[in-house]
Amino acid sequence: MNELKKIMEEISSLNKTHGVTQKGGKKYTQVVHRVEVFRRHVGTTYGIQTFLKVDDGKRVVVKAIIKSLEGDIIGSGYAEEFRGAGYVNKTSALENAETSAIGRALSSLGLSGGEYASANEMDTAQRNEQASNLPVSEQKGGKSTRTNQDLKEAIQRSENAKYRLSYPGNKSEHFDDIETAIQSINKWLWTVETYEEKPKDQRLMAIGAFFEQNKPIMDIMRKEKPDDLAEVDARVKRFEDD
């Protein structure tokens, strides 16, 4: 494949700017970004195909292959997940396995943008920029400088926001666009993953509570951005497995 070197170079560059920081300082380029680069260079000349090899009610095994129009297989990868093993696999074991299999098929071609990482190596996640929040009152002498008009506009923005997320501890955030909402989720997950003052089982309970509490809006987000939410699920799974 003549484009392979160019794809490798672009993914390597993307890894430096968008890579997810892993334990030990390595970075991992998410599957969704690698697929986008792959498609941009090869179009429909090569296809990515997945096969459900095992689904016995307890575990799922997915195989992914990358092949030419002539049927020549140039890359492949397998992934296995157990249903109910952790929060993500209670509802998304198949999707999680498929994403992982595609990632490993791309990695078999050298399209990882970093190390050929196993699921256990890819355990902690990206630092995203602070998501946009509602304006916070500036305090001066114990009194808020926010005017009644400021409060009215803030309430209107909150009520009109399309994406509303509730976090444990009665904290809520409101977003007009899904990308910023996903950034907020990733930032919160990073905080939970690295908060070692609490036992891991308590942190996993907090993550589970977040997904249960926000299930209706998360279902909408999964339909609008399935690849991005699959990466969020995979991130939680890596934390569970570590």
pLDDT at 50: 93
Q: Would you say residue 142 has pLDDT above 70?
A: no
Question: What is the model's pLDDT at position 25?
Answer: 64
Phi, psi (degrees; rounded to nearest 5) at 111? -100, 55
Determine the pLDDT at residue 23: 55
Please report which confidence band the pLDDT of residue 174 belongs to, taking 50, 70 and 90 as the band edges. confident
d(CA 96, CA 89): 7
3-state secondary structure the chain: CCCHHHHHHHHHHHHHHHCEECHHHCEECCHHHHHHHHHHHHCCCEEEEEEEEEECCCEEEEEEEEEECCCCEEEEEEEEEECCCCCHHHHHHHHHHHHHHHHHHHHHCCCCCCCCCCCCCCCCCCCCCCCCCCCCCCEECCEECCCHHHHHHHHHHHHHCCEEEEECCCEEEEECCHHHHHHHHHHHHHHHHHCCCCCHHHHHHHHHHHHHHCHHHHHHHHHHCHHHHHHHHHHHHHHHHC
pLDDT tens digits, 70-126: 889 999 999 888 888 777 777 788 888 898 899 889 988 888 755 444 333 343 223
Instruction: Identify the weakest region by mean pLDDT among 23-32, 38-47, 179-188.
Output: 23-32
More confident residue, 184 or 149: 184
Check residue 52 and give its pLDDT.
93
What residue spans define the domains of the chain?
4-108, 147-241
The lowest-confidence range among 16-20, 139-143, 175-179, 227-231 is: 139-143
Average pLDDT over residues 156-179: 72
pLDDT bin (cut points 50, 70, 90) of residue 128 is very low
Encode pLDDT of 37-58 as tens digits.
999 998 888 999 999 999 998 8
Asked whether the predicted pLDDT for residue 66 surpasses 90, the reply is: yes
